[in-house]
Copies of this chain bind each other. A is one copy, B any other.
């Protein structure tokens, strides 16, 4: 599953900055690096991680490499989180009800 790589990729602040920069539309590597406090090779390495997580795509255009956000990675993350949502709310509701009933220390399976 790719959501693992996506989570790890978006954990880094610099990669998030790159990702959010791409939010507005495609951008070349040099342009991205120009707006960040790190070197251009660092951006290249980060873009590689983002690409392996299906969060961005590259597209050569002459000598330049245009990067843009790939919806796949984002969707994988969303699916993962949504899969939690149901069970979590359910368990949460059960816990609240159990608390309300006062038999707080059950759950010894």
Question: Would you call A25 and B94 a contact (CB within 8 A)?
Answer: yes
Set B4, B7, B71, B107: member contacting A92, Cβ < 8 A: B71
With A7-B7, A11-B8 as contacts: A23 and B71 at CB distance below 8 Å:
no
Q: For the complex, what is the distance from the CA of A91 to the CA of B25, rounded to whole Å?
A: 5
Assess the A4–B25 pair: CB atoms within 8 A.
Answer: no
B-contacting residues of A (Cβ < 8 Å)? 4, 7-8, 10-11, 13, 16, 23-27, 59, 61-62, 66, 68-69, 71, 74, 77-78, 81-82, 84-85, 87-89, 91-92, 94-95, 104-105, 107
Known A-B contacts: A25-B94, A74-B84, A81-B81. Give 14 more (CB < 8 A). A23-B88, A24-B91, A26-B91, A26-B95, A61-B104, A62-B105, A68-B91, A69-B84, A69-B91, A71-B89, A74-B81, A74-B88, A77-B81, A78-B82
